[in-house]
Amino acid sequence: MIVKIPLRCLRCFTDFVHDRQDLKSQESADAYTIYIRRNVKYCPKCEPDRRRILAPQEILFLQIHPVSIDPTSSELPRGTFKLVFFGPTFRMRHAIKKLGYEWEEPEPTSDNLLSTAGSKGEYRKYIDIEDIVREVEAAQRIYATVCYPPPPEQIADANAIRKKLRATQVEREAAYENELDLLENPQAPDILPDVMRRTAGRRGEWHGNTLHIGYRRIEFPREEADVLKEYKAKLTNYKQQRLALKRKYGIP
Protein backbone atom coordinates (compact mmCIF):
# COMPACT_ATOMS: atom_id res chain seq x y z
CA MET A 1 0.00 0.00 0.00
CA ILE A 2 1.38 3.39 -1.01
CA VAL A 3 0.95 6.40 1.28
CA LYS A 4 1.75 9.97 0.22
CA ILE A 5 1.69 12.57 2.99
CA PRO A 6 1.75 16.29 2.02
CA LEU A 7 3.84 18.38 4.41
CA ARG A 8 5.23 21.90 4.69
CA CYS A 9 8.74 22.70 5.88
CA LEU A 10 8.80 24.85 9.01
CA ARG A 11 12.02 26.56 7.96
CA CYS A 12 11.69 27.41 4.26
CA PHE A 13 7.88 26.87 4.08
CA THR A 14 8.25 24.68 0.98
CA ASP A 15 5.57 22.06 0.33
CA PHE A 16 6.88 18.51 -0.09
CA VAL A 17 5.57 14.95 -0.03
CA HIS A 18 6.70 12.11 2.21
CA ASP A 19 5.79 8.70 0.81
CA ARG A 20 6.07 5.04 1.78
CA GLN A 21 5.15 1.96 -0.20
CA ASP A 22 5.40 -1.06 2.12
CA LEU A 23 2.42 -0.52 4.42
CA LYS A 24 0.08 -3.51 4.56
CA SER A 25 -3.20 -2.05 5.78
CA GLN A 26 -5.21 1.15 6.01
CA GLU A 27 -4.86 1.08 9.80
CA SER A 28 -1.06 1.01 9.48
CA ALA A 29 -1.21 3.80 6.91
CA ASP A 30 -3.30 6.01 9.22
CA ALA A 31 -0.98 5.42 12.18
CA TYR A 32 2.09 6.11 10.04
CA THR A 33 0.54 9.33 8.69
CA ILE A 34 -0.06 10.61 12.22
CA TYR A 35 3.51 9.72 13.22
CA ILE A 36 5.03 11.53 10.22
CA ARG A 37 2.92 14.66 10.70
CA ARG A 38 4.08 14.85 14.32
CA ASN A 39 7.77 14.17 13.74
CA VAL A 40 8.77 15.31 10.24
CA LYS A 41 9.05 19.09 10.39
CA TYR A 42 11.63 19.93 7.72
CA CYS A 43 12.06 19.20 4.02
CA PRO A 44 14.92 17.04 2.70
CA LYS A 45 16.99 20.19 2.00
CA CYS A 46 16.65 21.69 5.48
CA GLU A 47 16.83 18.54 7.57
CA PRO A 48 20.59 17.92 6.93
CA ASP A 49 21.32 21.50 7.95
CA ARG A 50 19.32 21.03 11.17
CA ARG A 51 21.27 17.85 11.97
CA ARG A 52 24.53 19.69 11.34
CA ILE A 53 23.59 22.42 13.85
CA LEU A 54 21.81 20.33 16.49
CA ALA A 55 22.66 16.89 17.83
CA PRO A 56 20.08 14.15 17.14
CA GLN A 57 18.63 14.31 20.67
CA GLU A 58 18.74 18.11 20.96
CA ILE A 59 15.62 20.20 20.44
CA LEU A 60 15.48 23.98 20.62
CA PHE A 61 12.11 24.96 22.10
CA LEU A 62 10.26 28.26 22.03
CA GLN A 63 7.68 28.70 24.77
CA ILE A 64 4.89 31.25 24.46
CA HIS A 65 3.52 32.55 27.75
CA PRO A 66 0.65 35.05 28.08
CA VAL A 67 1.90 37.83 30.33
CA SER A 68 0.11 37.99 33.66
CA ILE A 69 -1.76 41.29 33.69
CA ASP A 70 -3.14 42.97 36.79
CA PRO A 71 -5.96 45.36 35.74
CA THR A 72 -5.61 47.26 39.03
CA SER A 73 -1.89 47.93 38.53
CA SER A 74 -0.69 51.32 37.30
CA GLU A 75 2.28 49.73 35.53
CA LEU A 76 1.85 48.78 31.87
CA PRO A 77 3.23 45.29 31.07
CA ARG A 78 6.07 44.97 28.57
CA GLY A 79 3.98 42.93 26.15
CA THR A 80 0.97 40.68 25.76
CA PHE A 81 3.20 37.59 25.47
CA LYS A 82 6.58 36.51 26.77
CA LEU A 83 8.62 34.30 24.42
CA VAL A 84 11.32 32.13 26.00
CA PHE A 85 13.90 29.87 24.34
CA PHE A 86 15.20 26.81 26.15
CA GLY A 87 17.24 23.80 25.17
CA PRO A 88 20.66 24.20 23.52
CA THR A 89 20.48 27.99 23.78
CA PHE A 90 24.20 28.49 24.34
CA ARG A 91 25.04 26.85 21.03
CA MET A 92 22.26 28.77 19.27
CA ARG A 93 22.84 32.04 21.13
CA HIS A 94 24.02 34.03 18.09
CA ALA A 95 20.98 33.08 16.02
CA ILE A 96 18.67 33.79 18.97
CA LYS A 97 20.20 37.23 19.58
CA LYS A 98 19.73 38.14 15.90
CA LEU A 99 15.99 37.66 16.43
CA GLY A 100 16.04 40.37 19.12
CA TYR A 101 15.99 38.17 22.23
CA GLU A 102 17.85 39.35 25.33
CA TRP A 103 19.42 37.32 28.11
CA GLU A 104 17.75 38.07 31.42
CA GLU A 105 18.64 36.82 34.86
CA PRO A 106 15.86 35.89 37.30
CA GLU A 107 14.80 38.36 39.96
CA PRO A 108 16.78 37.79 43.19
CA THR A 109 14.71 35.98 45.81
CA SER A 110 15.41 34.22 49.07
CA ASP A 111 15.41 30.93 47.11
CA ASN A 112 18.03 31.75 44.51
CA LEU A 113 20.07 34.47 46.23
CA LEU A 114 22.37 31.98 47.99
CA SER A 115 22.23 29.31 45.28
CA THR A 116 25.55 27.96 44.05
CA ALA A 117 24.02 26.39 40.96
CA GLY A 118 24.60 27.70 37.47
CA SER A 119 22.80 30.68 35.98
CA LYS A 120 19.03 30.29 35.68
CA GLY A 121 18.69 33.08 33.12
CA GLU A 122 16.94 32.71 29.80
CA TYR A 123 16.56 34.40 26.42
CA ARG A 124 13.33 36.38 26.56
CA LYS A 125 11.35 38.66 24.30
CA TYR A 126 8.08 40.49 24.94
CA ILE A 127 5.68 40.99 22.03
CA ASP A 128 2.12 42.01 21.26
CA ILE A 129 -0.51 39.80 19.65
CA GLU A 130 0.00 41.22 16.16
CA ASP A 131 3.65 40.07 16.17
CA ILE A 132 3.10 36.48 17.26
CA VAL A 133 2.92 34.88 13.79
CA ARG A 134 6.05 36.68 12.60
CA GLU A 135 8.01 35.66 15.71
CA VAL A 136 6.94 32.03 15.46
CA GLU A 137 8.01 31.84 11.81
CA ALA A 138 11.35 33.46 12.65
CA ALA A 139 11.94 30.92 15.44
CA GLN A 140 11.10 28.04 13.12
CA ARG A 141 13.75 29.22 10.68
CA ILE A 142 16.41 28.45 13.30
CA TYR A 143 14.84 25.01 13.87
CA ALA A 144 12.94 25.86 17.03
CA THR A 145 9.92 23.81 18.06
CA VAL A 146 7.11 26.04 19.26
CA CYS A 147 5.21 24.75 22.26
CA TYR A 148 2.45 25.80 24.63
CA PRO A 149 0.55 28.15 22.32
CA PRO A 150 -2.12 30.04 24.30
CA PRO A 151 -5.79 29.35 23.54
CA PRO A 152 -7.63 31.99 21.44
CA GLU A 153 -9.86 33.13 24.32
CA GLN A 154 -6.78 33.78 26.47
CA ILE A 155 -5.22 35.82 23.67
CA ALA A 156 -8.40 37.89 23.28
CA ASP A 157 -8.71 38.52 27.03
CA ALA A 158 -5.07 39.54 27.41
CA ASN A 159 -5.23 41.84 24.41
CA ALA A 160 -8.42 43.52 25.63
CA ILE A 161 -6.92 44.16 29.06
CA ARG A 162 -3.73 45.53 27.52
CA LYS A 163 -5.67 47.97 25.30
CA LYS A 164 -7.56 49.17 28.36
CA LEU A 165 -4.32 49.67 30.27
CA ARG A 166 -2.82 51.58 27.36
CA ALA A 167 -5.79 53.96 27.27
CA THR A 168 -5.51 54.43 31.03
CA GLN A 169 -1.79 55.16 30.75
CA VAL A 170 -2.41 57.82 28.09
CA GLU A 171 -4.93 59.50 30.39
CA ARG A 172 -2.46 59.42 33.31
CA GLU A 173 0.33 60.88 31.18
CA ALA A 174 -1.94 63.69 29.96
CA ALA A 175 -3.00 64.54 33.54
CA TYR A 176 0.65 64.47 34.63
CA GLU A 177 1.69 66.86 31.85
CA ASN A 178 -1.16 69.25 32.70
CA GLU A 179 -0.20 69.46 36.37
CA LEU A 180 3.49 69.66 35.52
CA ASP A 181 2.84 72.76 33.42
CA LEU A 182 1.35 74.45 36.50
CA LEU A 183 4.59 74.05 38.46
CA GLU A 184 7.10 76.88 38.52
CA ASN A 185 10.22 75.71 36.70
CA PRO A 186 12.92 78.19 37.79
CA GLN A 187 14.97 79.86 35.10
CA ALA A 188 18.72 79.40 35.31
CA PRO A 189 20.56 82.65 36.19
CA ASP A 190 22.89 84.18 33.62
CA ILE A 191 25.94 83.48 35.78
CA LEU A 192 25.27 79.72 35.92
CA PRO A 193 27.40 78.78 32.85
CA ASP A 194 30.41 80.55 34.38
CA VAL A 195 29.79 78.85 37.73
CA MET A 196 29.58 75.43 36.03
CA ARG A 197 32.90 76.13 34.32
CA ARG A 198 34.58 77.15 37.57
CA THR A 199 33.23 74.15 39.50
CA ALA A 200 33.60 71.66 36.61
CA GLY A 201 29.94 70.75 37.14
CA ARG A 202 30.59 69.32 40.62
CA ARG A 203 28.20 69.86 43.52
CA GLY A 204 29.15 71.51 46.77
CA GLU A 205 27.82 73.03 49.98
CA TRP A 206 27.36 76.70 50.71
CA HIS A 207 28.92 78.28 53.77
CA GLY A 208 28.05 81.94 53.60
CA ASN A 209 29.41 83.24 50.28
CA THR A 210 31.83 80.32 49.90
CA LEU A 211 31.08 77.13 47.97
CA HIS A 212 32.85 74.07 49.43
CA ILE A 213 33.59 71.35 46.87
CA GLY A 214 35.66 68.70 48.58
CA TYR A 215 38.84 70.49 49.63
CA ARG A 216 38.25 73.40 47.26
CA ARG A 217 36.87 76.76 48.40
CA ILE A 218 35.33 79.09 45.82
CA GLU A 219 34.45 82.62 46.90
CA PHE A 220 31.53 84.46 45.28
CA PRO A 221 30.28 88.03 45.65
CA ARG A 222 27.33 88.23 48.05
CA GLU A 223 24.85 89.11 45.27
CA GLU A 224 25.91 86.15 43.09
CA ALA A 225 25.92 83.77 46.04
CA ASP A 226 22.37 84.82 46.98
CA VAL A 227 21.17 84.33 43.41
CA LEU A 228 22.75 80.88 43.17
CA LYS A 229 21.40 79.72 46.54
CA GLU A 230 17.91 80.94 45.68
CA TYR A 231 18.02 79.14 42.32
CA LYS A 232 19.21 75.94 43.98
CA ALA A 233 16.37 76.05 46.52
CA LYS A 234 13.73 76.65 43.82
CA LEU A 235 15.14 73.92 41.59
CA THR A 236 15.20 71.41 44.46
CA ASN A 237 11.58 72.24 45.29
CA TYR A 238 10.58 71.87 41.63
CA LYS A 239 12.23 68.45 41.37
CA GLN A 240 10.51 67.26 44.54
CA GLN A 241 7.12 68.38 43.25
CA ARG A 242 7.76 66.74 39.88
CA LEU A 243 8.74 63.47 41.59
CA ALA A 244 5.56 63.58 43.68
CA LEU A 245 3.50 63.98 40.50
CA LYS A 246 5.26 61.02 38.87
CA ARG A 247 4.44 58.85 41.86
CA LYS A 248 0.86 60.10 41.88
CA TYR A 249 0.26 59.12 38.24
CA GLY A 250 2.60 56.10 38.09
CA ILE A 251 4.99 57.69 35.58
CA PRO A 252 8.44 56.02 35.44
**What are the pLDDT digits (tens) for 198-218?**
887 788 888 888 888 888 888
Average pLDDT over residues 231-251: 86
- For the cut 60, the answer to whether the pLDDT of residue 91 exceeds it is yes
Q: Average the pLDDT over 133-160 and give the result.
A: 74
pLDDT at residue 112, as a whole number: 41
The residue ranking higher by pLDDT, 183 or 23, is 183
Tell me which of 57-61, 94-98, 158-162 is least confident: 158-162
Distances in whole angstroms, Cα of residue 146 to Cα of each of 11, 85, 91, 122, 142: 12, 9, 18, 16, 11
Q: Hey, where are the domains in the chain?
A: 3-49, 60-106+117-150, 183-249
Range among 50-64, 90-104, 115-129 with highest mean pLDDT value: 90-104
How much is the pLDDT for 110?
44
What confidence score (pLDDT) does residue 114 get? 41
Q: Is the pLDDT of residue 23 over 60?
A: yes
Per-residue confidence band for 107, with pLDDT thresholds at 50, 70 and 90: low
pLDDT at 70: 55
pLDDT class of 113 with cuts at 50, 70, 90: very low
Q: What is the mean pLDDT of residues 143-172?
A: 69
Q: What's the pLDDT at 115? A: 39
pLDDT band at 118 (very low <50, low <70, confident <90, very high): very low
Chain segment 46-61, per-residue pLDDT in tens: 888 887 777 766 778 8
pLDDT at 2 over 50: yes
